[in-house]
Chains A and B, each alone.
Chain A
Amino acid sequence: MELELSDSEKRFREDVRQFLDEKLTPELRRAGRYMTSVFADFDATMQWHRTLYEKGWVAPTWPKEHGGAGWNPMERNIFQEECRLAEAPSLLPMGLLMLGPILIRYGSEEQKRELLPRLLSGDDVWCQGYSEPNAGSDLASLKTSAVREGAQYVVNGSKIWTSYAHRANKIFCLVRTSATGKPQQGISFLLIDLDSPGVTVSPIVGIDGEVEQCQVFFEDARVPVGNLVGEENQGWEVAKYLLEFERGGLSYYIPIKKQLRDVRAVAAIQPGPSSGTYLSDPHFSRQLSLLEIEHAALEALEMRIQSQLESGQNPGALSSLTKVLGTELSQQVDELALVLRGPYNAVLQNEVLAPDFRGEVIGPQAGLAMTNAYLNNRASTIYGGTVQIQRNIVAKLVLGL
């Protein structure tokens, strides 16, 4: 059993740190620091995307022959951790982590040739069209239809919770191409231009006052048949492939590590009860310690998964736990962070978080954005499979119930 990084891993980490020192501008760091979501300010994100693209590091999880960095799981993990701790803004995952691997696995040669380079460079910005107003947890019941007419599909319906559709130029969708048989068996994976006639993007304001999510409407939108990925009615399998691929993707412990450091740092300066700081208050620091201990356990679990991936095993069962554990813990850390803001939890100040803000902050500067993050992060136990659905999956597939 071995926990220490190998010499080559240590050298890799040094290289990453050096790169971040050089290329993470103060503006980019600010955007990363004030992330209130899994997403950062869009323009900062795309600037960072291009910086990484120039380095060849924008797609760590892709194979080298398609423009990926060719890193092993440990290197990808080190990179992710160093970026997060250095406050690099996160990249949009829809293209890089979802569509890219899908195209590599299921795309036609023409699709790969046409789309992968533009995805890598950031010239195309993709969003994901899966959920519908009536198809959330029961995604397979989706109804957005794609009817074949000659060399086109005619698409009708609506997708909701499409993150960043208002800034994207393309969307990948699960659409219904057959209504016979089991619902999963009539779904196809289709790429659609958001500029197409009949496609309308409607931004949704979230409880944190930001626009991140959208609803997308399709009214007789015509899509070339060449935009089908994989076979017709193979869409569910294509989407499920991602679940396998995501194992060994982003670790949950990493953003929480940053979250906890931020809470600790703010608590160390914020006046607390009994004329000390919050950190010197035994009640606060006890709660912080408990969360740090839970975090240590999550990190250990994710390291175990990492270890199994590296030795070629399928961690299967263990990885299905991390979304539940990670998102629930993250929300608990959010709750503790609110303590530091006190009555200023009543003030969001979204404008302060923008890169070009030049005004005065209401209340303490320390812990700015913690309330925003708390409101935004409330979604994390809901998206990507609610924690209730995740528990159903673990019960069935892991415990055999």
Chain B
Amino acid sequence: MDFSLNEDQQLLQTSIRRYLRDCYDFEARQRTIKSGEGFSPEYWRSFAELGWLGVSFAEEDGGLGGGPVELMMLCQALGEHLVIEPVLENLVLAGGLIRRLGSAEQRAHFLPALMAGSLQCAVAHGEAGAGVSPELVTTTATRSGMNYVIEGEKCVVYNAPNADLLLVTARSVGRDAERAGINLFAIPADTAGIRSRNYSTIDGRCAAELCFDGVTVDAATRLGREGEAGTAITATLDDALLAISAEAVGAMQALLDTTLAYTRERKQFGVAISSFQVLQHKMVDMYMALEKAQSLLMVTAVKLRDGSEDAHMSVAALKVLVDRAGRQVAHDAVQLHGGIAMTDELPVGHYLKRLTVLSYLLGSTEHHLRRYTELQAGFAG
């Protein structure tokens, strides 16, 4: 039983934390958001140069050869610093699908540019029913000669406004949330027939509603065999769930730190409010929530790495735990900061908004609770 990081992992973690601590600025983040750009090209370039965009790719594809543990470390640090740059969308979601489904040629075509930071991707998978069923795909891909015609709507597609490349899931057979029959297409974002409605999100990013109105794409844009993308999608979503859970744990850590610091400084009735027992107990409860989440996060990362039988169940459990713990910590942080936490200028509210979004991303808490219950029944039975 060993929860310690090895030397390489420690070095990676230290360098990620140092960069963000020294260089990632909340004020700069706010300016980026106000500009409507969606992310900062300068920071994106730095992330690429630091090798972060290659963390999960195999060494023979030019990556760092890291796995879930490395991903966890990176995303936890991103969450701690409220980083809005689309690492999740590019490295985890798009990158995860491309590396799992792409042929050697396709990987060689996309991954170097992605890792170099010159290719922006968005994964258009979630549809209107995604909260209840993140695996739901009703968008269709109908074979037509050497092409497919894609018909359907994708909702809340993060990073779509900035994307060069869209990874779109559409089914050729089957229905609803059936895993069989789903395809993945990697198509240019400016492909004819795609209508998009762009908007800003409450967590400082940008997303779009995408409408595929009889969009014709070359069959060569399909990654993997026809109708067989389902398994890779599930595995990629599991990675993404780990990543956003790690991000949430980082956010919780930052919220606890800032709340401790604030309550020590803030004086009312002649004393620091951190001396009040009720507030102390609230902060202890925040700390306990954080350490529970951190612990289950680490265990889940290792189970995913090792392909444990109960890895999926652990991911579902983690999402439920982190959703609830994250919101508890965020709301308590707001409460303990008092009035100023309700302003836009303090990071606390931004952590609350990101944690709220995360708890509904890639399936709501209730969805994952149902998923956990089903998996547990199958496991125990």
- Interface residues of chain A, those whose CB is within 8 Å of chain B, are 1-5, 74, 264, 285-286, 289-290, 292-294, 296-298, 300-301, 303-304, 306-308, 310-311, 318, 321, 324-325, 388, 391-392, 394-395, 398-401
How far is it, in angstroms, between the C-alpha of A341 and the C-alpha of B68 when the chains are bound?
43
Tell me if A307 and B295 are in contact (CB < 8 A): no
Contacts of B260 in A (CB 8 A): 399-401
**Residue contact B296 to A297, C-beta cutoff 8 Å:** yes
Q: Are B296 and A300 in contact (CB under 8 A)?
A: yes
Contact A2-B320, Cβ < 8 Å, known A297-B295, A297-B296: no
B284 at the interface (CB under 8 A from A): yes
Interface-facing stretch out of B30-38, B114-122, B221-229, B273-281: B273-281
Q: How far is it, in angstroms, between the C-alpha of A225 and the C-alpha of B303 when the chains are bound?
A: 57
Per a CB cutoff under 8 Å, which of A289, A301, A310, A395 touches B284?
Answer: A395
Are A307 and B3 CB-contacts (below 8 A) given A2-B302, A394-B287, A399-B283?
A: yes
Q: Which residues of A contact B4 (CB under 8 A)?
A: 1, 307, 311
Q: How far is the CA of A67 from the CA of B102 in the complex (A)?
A: 62
Find A1's partner among B5, B281, B308, B372 (CB 8 Å cutoff): B5
Assembly CA distance A28 to B26 (angstroms): 62
Closest-by-CB residue of A relative to B320 is A293
Closest residue on chain B to residue A295 by CB atoms: B317
B380 touches A264 (CB 8 A): yes
Do B280 and A303 touch (CB < 8 A)? no
CA distance A146 to B19 in the complex (A): 62
Contact with A along B363-381 (1 / 0, CB 8 A): 0000001101100100010
Q: How far is the CA of A293 from the CA of B365 in the complex (A)?
A: 12
Chain B residues closer than 8 Å to A296, beta-carbon distance: 296, 299, 314, 317, 321
Residue of B nearest to A318 (CB): B291
| Contact assessment for A310 and B321 in the assembled complex, using a CB-CB cutoff below 8 Å | no
Q: Could you tell me how many residues of chain B have their Cβ less than 8 Å away from some Cβ of chain A?
A: 42
The CA of A307 and the CA of B277, in the complex, are separated in Å by 32
Closest partner residue, chain B, to A298 (CB atom): B292
Residue of A at shortest CB range from B260? Answer: A399
Alpha-carbon gap, A35 to B121, bound state (A) = 58
CB distance from A365 to the nearest CB of B (A): 21
How far does the Cβ of B25 sit from chain A's closest Cβ, in whole Å?
27
- Nearest CB of B to A137, in Å: 13
Q: Are B306 and A391 in contact (CB under 8 A)?
A: no
List of B residues within 8 angstroms of A392 by Cβ: 277, 280-281
User: Is B42 at the interface (CB under 8 A from chain A)?
Assistant: no
Q: Is the interface of A mostly helix, strand, loop or mixed?
A: helix
The yes or no answer to B210 lying at the interface (CB within 8 A) is no
Q: Which chain B residues lie closer than 8 Å to A289 at the CB level?
A: 320, 369, 372-373, 376
Q: Which of A303, A324, A401 contacts B299 (CB 8 A)?
A: A303
Bound complex: CA A391 to CA B283 (Å): 9
Measured CB to CB, the nearest residue on chain B to A310 is B1
In contact, B287 and A399 (Cβ under 8 angstroms) = yes
A297 B321 Cβ-Cβ under 8 A: yes
* Chain A residues within an 8 Å CB radius of B293: 297
B window 289-320: CB within 8 A of A: 291-293, 295-296, 298-299, 301-303, 305-306, 308, 314, 317, 320
How far, in Å, is B376 (CB) from chain A's closest CB? 7
Partner of A286, one of B69, B317, B373: B373
Does A290 contact B320, Cβ atoms closer than 8 Å?
yes
Q: Shortest distance in angstroms between A301's beta carbon and chain B's nearest beta carbon?
A: 4
Q: Which residues of chain B have C-beta atoms less than 8 A from A301's C-beta?
A: 291-292, 295
Q: List B contacts of A307 (CB < 8 A).
A: 1-4
Docked Cα-Cα span, A3 to B320, in Å, equals: 22
Q: Tell me, in angstroms, the Cα distance from A309 to B302 when the chains sit together.
A: 20
User: Is B288's beta carbon under 8 Å from chain A?
Assistant: yes
Q: Contacts A297-B296, A321-B291, A392-B280: A3 and B1 contacting too (C-beta < 8 A)?
A: yes
